Structure 1
Amino acid sequence: MKNYEVVRDEISQTKELQSLEAWIENFKTTIGLSAADFKKIIQRMIDEEEVVVHKEKVYFLDNKRFARGTFRVVRDTFGFVENDHVSIYIAGLDYNGSLDLDDVLVEIKSAEKQYGVIVTTLKRNRDVLLGTMKMRGKGLFFIPYDTKITLQVEYEKGNLSLKENDRVIGKILNVGDKIDVEITSVLGQADEPGMDVRSVLFVYGIDVEFPEEVLEEVKSVPSEVSEKETEGRMDHRDQYVITIDGEDAKDLDDAIYMESLANGFRLYVHIADVAHYVKQDSAIGKSAFERSSSVYMVDRVVPMLPKELSNGVCSLHPNVDRLVMTAQIDIGFNGEIIDYNIYQSVIHSKRRMSYIEVNSGEDLKEVQPMIDMMRECASRLKYKREQAGSIGFESDESKFIIDNDGNVLDIFKRETGEAEEMIEMFMVTANEVVARHARYQFIPILYRIHDHPTKEKMQDLSHTLRILGYRMKGNLEEIRPKSLQKALEFFEGKPEYPVVSKLMLRSMSKAKYSPEPIGHFGLALEDYAHFTSPIRRYPDLLLHQRLKKYVVKQDRRNVEKDEAFTEEAGIHASKKERSILDAERQVEKIKKAQFMQDKVGETFIGYISGVTNFGIFVELPNTVEGLIHVRTLNDDFYQYDAMAQKMIGERTKQVYSIGQKLKVKLVSVDKIEHVVNFEIIKPRTRKGRRVIHERRRKKS
């Protein structure tokens, strides 16, 4: 151990790169360390990702000079290498043959400005490419479907017969100045119904089909709950339990019941006991780990669990017995948690309700008194959270109306009503209570953590808000959620509010999963974990499995093994979550572009959602966002003011800034990049109207 610390300290403090041989000689001379022992230490440092050895040179990963991370291409001219600590800008000339999503070693040229160059690719995270065969001249060319693949692709077709517009899979053979692939299969024509979504699923490595061993294991899962399975559980089948979900939901994770107490409310949050059917080391459990989450595309769901579980025996349908894990929570009239209990139970849901039904308040009948009580409790919980500083970001979630072929008929912004807010309050409360219990009991679980935003991000946000008329208060280095909440409240009801909410959200650190309970900044909570969605999220399922082991069975064997697996699961789930979110956004982008294709020439009213050096982004009320490219601003020469987030006309002094309302015309839709292009429609001036009137008078 002592030698390890000496070696680590010496390597970390040496500014010049040295070879393995040089280090071996150095430590042989200074501390008498043998070459074999040194190599063991270096291997441990490699395993713990403290160093990378490339071409016999030892690179210390301090995130100041060198870092290891995932390379994410934005376009052929730039990308970023990211890990939990840094995000390093990479210019297109410095990709060094790395592909999007590769694990790379990066040399950081400026820690302050955060830019660098890729030294080498450490791991390829894709071994196949999706492409479309396109005719150019007399030959067919392989055009990568993923526009983040910036190198030219050359292919071998083997015995396959290829034609234009075929969507194909190419196995990567070699990457250098170009990518060599062998085409292994043809999926079909690129414009077939559903091919767009299938292509995105493929690019992001999202498996639609379950492995054979999972399908085989599912056959042994019962389709209903037997009386024997209810033994030893609290029996809540007499409660008037209800579920409240979206109208089209099939995987019902959570059910609720409430009764009054002399000093407040008793809330029962019943969550599907998926862990009763899915063990960690089973085929279904391993598959759930790999998938990590259900994926919600515009026209389909790719479930984490087979439908026999997700839509069947685990889903809390009405009028059938279901096994659940229950969080019984006593809540005071001031919204404080007085007491709680976590245990296994059985329920018999009496009624399935929708958000629309509860929000309308019509035909609630016998459930009306309980809904009223729930609303009252939720309002008190909300007030308590707001006092603590919980930040209520505005959601820009889109709602799509689609036909059987996956074509989008309409898009609108999903509205959040009182029912959605009420259920969210109850689920957050349950998540908090279970996380606190797990921490007190030293149970190895995955916490949902959200770190404090960086000082740099807060300085940028503060500057933008000042331009919009609000001055942030307090120390930006140790910003508190309450400060951000007050800023949002200042803009509430103003045109800038949606943009400010977005800017603030982008300034936050990324939420992730971790075995360490460092708290959740955005929710202003010290303890938080995901407990309420085990049908569709692996961290929730793992938490349930651990509750059954450590709380129900009181089994504390193999704690160290469980801790090691939890750490691995946190890294995997956080990485997979990012990939799934990117895939879902990509599908939304594609579908929005397709929806706008037949509307070229139409005019819309939107607001400026972003300003960059290449143009202005405008978002419409239906959540579709488009670009006004700077080259279309032909009435003046416009300068981009990065600090003020504005475009300013040199001659006219015309200013375009975030939050500003604009009338725009749709001029084109890029079918490859799925970009919607707008032009500004300027109001006619009085002089312009006189000229037009005079011309018309002369013609008549």
Structure 2
Amino acid sequence: MRSRKTSGRNALPQHRRPRSQSLPPPAEATHLRDRLLADIAGQEEPRELGQLLADLELPRSERGPLKRLLNELVDQGQLQLHKKRYLPASGDNGLLQATVSFSPRGYAFALMDGITRPGQDPFITPQGLAGAQHNDQVLVRLEPSRSGRSEARVVRILQRGTTSLCGIFTSGGRSGWVLPDDERLPFSVLIRKGNSLNAPNGSAVQVEIITYPATPGGQAEGKVLRVLGDPNLPAVQFLLSILRFSLQEHYPQAVLAEVDRLVPLVAPEPGRKDLRQLPHVTIDGESARDFDDAIAVIAEDDGFTLHVSIADVSHYVRPGSQLDQEAYLRGTSVYLPDRVLPMLPERLSNDLCSLVPHQDRPTLTCTIRFDRSGGRRAIELCRSMIHSRHRLTYNQVHGLLSGQSTPPPELEDIMPMLQAAGHLADLLNHRRLGRGSIGFTLPEPEIQLNAEGIITDIRRRERNPAHQLIEEFMLAANEAVAETLDRRGLPFLFRIHERPDPLKVAAFSESAAALGLRLPPPTPSPEPVWFAKVLHAAASGPTAYVVNNLMLRTMQQARYAPENKGHFGLAATWYTHFTSPIRRYPDLMVHRALTAMFAAEAADTAQGHLPLSEAGTFLSRRERISVEVERDVQARCAALFMQERIGEEFAAVISGISSFALFVELTDYFVSGALLVQDLPRDNYQHDPTSHKLYGLQRGTSWHLGDLVRVRLVKVDQQSRRLNFCLADE
């Protein structure tokens, strides 16, 4: 007997309705909507209803509810319907593209444009990651904040950011595992025996990920691509850093073939000014091989003429070429203790473009005329050909100008020029500091290796007045070029440094007061001169390094942008990077803008129609990666160098204080570490963040920023590159 038909939408009681006809709970509905929007947004072609069911792995019984949801999204303008196929609407559907970034402590954040903004990036809870890992490209939806900070939830993983990783291989019989070298990858990787490449136990390896962990802290599976060697060797640690940051060790053959076809320019062509008669010299470090810049200073009755001539890389690297595309992707040269990963192949960086002595080289020259007090009177820019007379070093020039060394006969002809250069540099430095330019004096590490590649020392790199001489001339040229291009209305990338956050300034002011510095209170938005006064007040005391470090953290990061927002740190209205096109791509772009100006062409044509805003963001990111690599390598070297010094005592200065540790910088070595509160003498310790001190309630012992302490090294963790100390008298 045929069953009787029911009539009406409510013929079945509510509790007996088929599941496919009921609406999902609100949270599930939201997640389904986001998955649907993300799926359609990630497809190259419009999707039919049946395809979407398959994409979302929904049963056919959900066809009706899914169609109703699709129609709702079409009605809301979040999707378009064309011939029964669904495609993204042109408007905003509430989903944003982001990069997932993990901190070393395991917290995840969404970087909305690939650049981190500490304290502002939306937080992603472990439940909101949806299997995403560090550096993955994802679609996210911003969620209502529950903690005062914006939150995001991953809706779809668009592209994995980590397809291979490095780590230490541990053999486990029939299989093994690799613990990633990067703390931001919080999982282990299972390596089955057939995928191990017979890697020795404890060796450093590079691994391809086959399957990703579903949850944070889960386990991935992979196979060994490359056995790197003994992780206790510095060269292996450098290689680990190179691979961690996906730096390129070699050039594509197409690029090298293009470089081989380049023809050297050995004589001035039409439009290039012959400046070979000027006494140009280069001044660099002892180990430098790529010479971007040469200077010549002429003393005159009414002042000085400064010539800053920069290698004309744009003559050889043409927009859109294979060489140009590779240079852009690299963005900058990266300097490691035992090698350089150059932006340009060696034939260019060390030969055709390098301003080596006694060779004619094409350049762009910025000629600036100054009065007797160092005031700028005129600027002239041109394409040029120069002939460097000498390759000098900073130490050599310092010795000559200070009278500590006698000039050899071959340098006597340039001594008047060097003396004029020293005088002009002093004038420029005095004027720059007088306008409020902040004179940071943060030291840089110098990692020394012996012939076997073993680390023998990690020292603070020495600076002398010759470094300042070149710095002043490069700053003057960069400002002059930026002002000239901007006044001509030509598009180019400025080097901008925006005002610091007032809240950070207030916190820094409190820190300076806690260090005993007497300063006028800052205005809500102080000028650079206020910060310069702080550094001056601290310059002669033991806390100078701490003050410089705290101030640097207060500042925003400088970046490249097509809009001029000035350079706060230099107190400069106009600033760009013009002086290092061999190792920085933004400088090459500025050279192309100048070349377009000389030829009265459109600057965007000279750049190959590369969008400046996009280039500024990308090249700023490449620069920050380079800085991260250098810090990573320094930490690796410190861990290797100090491994043999466990139990030794060192003098140190307290550079930071938190509720769980005192952070110290050693005074004899450029090495930092921590004294955990649990390793301090037994007491009930309290942290006062306002006065930046840690004190014990029972004994009354206290520690402040800038205090000198004697510490003993107790532990080195090579995996995390952390050094733990204790007080030497404990």
TM-score range, shorter chain: 0.7 to 0.9
Secondary structure at the aligned position of 1:469 is classed as coil
- Among 161, 166, 170, the alignment partner of 1:134 is 170
The Cα offsets for residues 390-433 of structure 1, whole Å up to 9 and x where unpaired, read as 10112220112112333111121112110101100100110111
Amino acid aligned to 2:154: V
Structure 1 counterpart of 2:184: 148
Secondary structure at the aligned position of 2:587 is classed as helix
Deviation at 1:96, TM superposition (A): 4.7
Over 3 Å counting, the alpha-carbon distance change for 1:603 and 1:169 in structure 2 is: closer
- Matches of 1:526 and 1:342, distance apart in 2: 19
Secondary structure at the aligned position of 2:644 is classed as helix
Secondary structure at the aligned position of 1:280 is classed as coil
CA contact (8 A) 1:459 1:476 kept: no
Over 3 Å counting, the alpha-carbon distance change for 1:351 and 1:463 in structure 2 is: same
Q: Structure 1 residue 514 and structure 2 residue 548: aligned?
A: no
TM-score normalised by structure 2 residue count: 0.82
Amino acid aligned to 1:236: L
Structure 1 counterpart of 2:42: none
Q: How does 1:479-518 map to 2 (within 5 A)?
A: 479-518=526-565
- Matches of 2:79 and 2:360, distance apart in 1: 66
Structure 1 counterpart of 2:425: 378
- Among 550, 564, 567, the alignment partner of 2:613 is 567
Amino acid aligned to 2:188: Q
Q: How does 1:210-249 map to 2 (within 5 A)?
A: 210-222=251-263, 224-227=264-267, 229-249=268-288
Which consecutive unaligned segments of at least 5 residues does structure 2 have?
A: 1-29, 38-67
Structure 1 counterpart of 2:631: 585
Q: Structure 1 residue 359 and structure 2 residue 406: aligned?
A: no
Structure 1 counterpart of 2:151: 116
- Among 436, 449, 471, the alignment partner of 1:402 is 449
TM-score normalised by structure 1 residue count: 0.86
The Cα offsets for residues 46-67 of structure 1, whole Å up to 9 and x where unpaired, read as xxxxx5x5xxxx24x6xxxxxx
Amino acid aligned to 1:165: G
Secondary structure at the aligned position of 1:87 is classed as coil
Deviation at 1:74, TM superposition (A): 2.5
Amino acid aligned to 2:484: H
Structure 2 counterpart of 1:198: 239
Over 3 Å counting, the alpha-carbon distance change for 1:213 and 1:25 in structure 2 is: same
- Matches of 1:580 and 1:116, distance apart in 2: 29
Amino acid aligned to 2:151: G
Q: Structure 1 residue 182 and structure 2 residue 183: aligned?
A: no
The Cα offsets for residues 65-106 of structure 1, whole Å up to 9 and x where unpaired, read as xxx654332224435444466334556676553322234537
Secondary structure at the aligned position of 1:194 is classed as helix
Deviation at 1:244, TM superposition (A): 0.6
- Matches of 1:487 and 1:502, distance apart in 2: 12
CA contact (8 A) 1:90 1:117 kept: yes
The Cα offsets for residues 508-565 of structure 1, whole Å up to 9 and x where unpaired, read as 11111111111111111111111000000010111112221x2222212756986652
- Matches of 1:100 and 1:360, distance apart in 2: 50
Q: Structure 1 residue 319 and structure 2 residue 348: aligned?
A: no
Q: Structure 1 residue 544 and structure 2 residue 598: aligned?
A: no
Structure showing greater Rg: 2
Structure 2 counterpart of 1:611: 657
Q: Report the more deviating stretch, 320-329 or 479-488.
A: 479-488
Amino acid aligned to 2:209: I
Amino acid aligned to 1:216: A
Structure 2 counterpart of 1:173: 210
Structure 1 counterpart of 2:502: 455
Deviation at 1:375, TM superposition (A): 1.5
The Cα offsets for residues 310-365 of structure 1, whole Å up to 9 and x where unpaired, read as 01111111111111000001122333221111101111111111000111122333
- Matches of 1:116 and 1:281, distance apart in 2: 40
Q: Report the more deviating stretch, 71-80 or 346-355.
A: 71-80
Q: Report the more deviating stretch, 400-409 or 606-615.
A: 400-409
Over 3 Å counting, the alpha-carbon distance change for 1:255 and 1:628 in structure 2 is: same
- Matches of 2:399 and 2:89, distance apart in 1: 63
Deviation at 1:602, TM superposition (A): 1.4
Give the % identical residues.
Answer: 32
Q: Structure 1 residue 670 and structure 2 residue 717: aligned?
A: yes
- Matches of 1:397 and 1:204, distance apart in 2: 21
- Matches of 2:688 and 2:644, distance apart in 1: 35
Amino acid aligned to 1:618: V
- Matches of 1:71 and 1:646, distance apart in 2: 35
- Matches of 2:725 and 2:537, distance apart in 1: 31
- Matches of 2:687 and 2:503, distance apart in 1: 21
Amino acid aligned to 2:131: G
Over 3 Å counting, the alpha-carbon distance change for 1:663 and 1:184 in structure 2 is: closer
Over 3 Å counting, the alpha-carbon distance change for 1:637 and 1:416 in structure 2 is: same
Secondary structure at the aligned position of 2:282 is classed as strand
Over 3 Å counting, the alpha-carbon distance change for 1:89 and 1:499 in structure 2 is: farther
Number of residues of Structure 1 aligned to a counterpart in Structure 2 = 646
Which consecutive unaligned segments of at least 5 residues does structure 1 have?
A: 1-15, 46-50, 62-67, 684-700
- Matches of 1:108 and 1:346, distance apart in 2: 59
Structure 2 counterpart of 1:696: none
Over 3 Å counting, the alpha-carbon distance change for 1:26 and 1:92 in structure 2 is: closer
Structure 2 counterpart of 1:10: none
Deviation at 1:466, TM superposition (A): 2.3
Amino acid aligned to 2:686: Q
Q: How does 1:651-666 map to 2 (within 5 A)?
A: 651-666=698-713
Secondary structure at the aligned position of 2:439 is classed as coil
Deviation at 1:112, TM superposition (A): 8.4
Amino acid aligned to 1:194: A
Deviation at 1:125, TM superposition (A): 2.2
Amino acid aligned to 1:429: A
The Cα offsets for residues 286-305 of structure 1, whole Å up to 9 and x where unpaired, read as 11001000001122111111
Secondary structure at the aligned position of 2:533 is classed as helix
Deviation at 1:44, TM superposition (A): 4.9
CA contact (8 A) 1:193 1:405 kept: no
- Matches of 1:87 and 1:459, distance apart in 2: 22
Structure 1 counterpart of 2:574: 527
Structure 2 counterpart of 1:333: 372
- Matches of 1:140 and 1:114, distance apart in 2: 41
CA contact (8 A) 1:90 1:115 kept: no
Secondary structure at the aligned position of 1:466 is classed as helix
Structure 2 counterpart of 1:5: none
Structure 2 counterpart of 1:297: 336
Q: Report the more deviating stretch, 160-169 or 211-220.
A: 160-169
CA contact (8 A) 2:80 2:86 kept: no
- Matches of 1:313 and 1:561, distance apart in 2: 21
- Matches of 2:70 and 2:298, distance apart in 1: 69
- Matches of 2:294 and 2:188, distance apart in 1: 53
The Cα offsets for residues 555-582 of structure 1, whole Å up to 9 and x where unpaired, read as 1275698665222221111111111211
Q: Structure 1 residue 637 and structure 2 residue 684: aligned?
A: yes
Deviation at 1:667, TM superposition (A): 1.6
- Matches of 1:458 and 1:637, distance apart in 2: 31
RMSD after superposition: 3.0
Deviation at 1:479, TM superposition (A): 2.1
CA contact (8 A) 2:593 2:606 kept: no
The Cα offsets for residues 248-307 of structure 1, whole Å up to 9 and x where unpaired, read as 100000000011233321100000011111112111111100100000112211111111
- Matches of 1:133 and 1:35, distance apart in 2: 52
Structure 1 counterpart of 2:311: 272
Over 3 Å counting, the alpha-carbon distance change for 1:41 and 1:497 in structure 2 is: farther
- Matches of 1:667 and 1:209, distance apart in 2: 40
Deviation at 1:647, TM superposition (A): 1.2
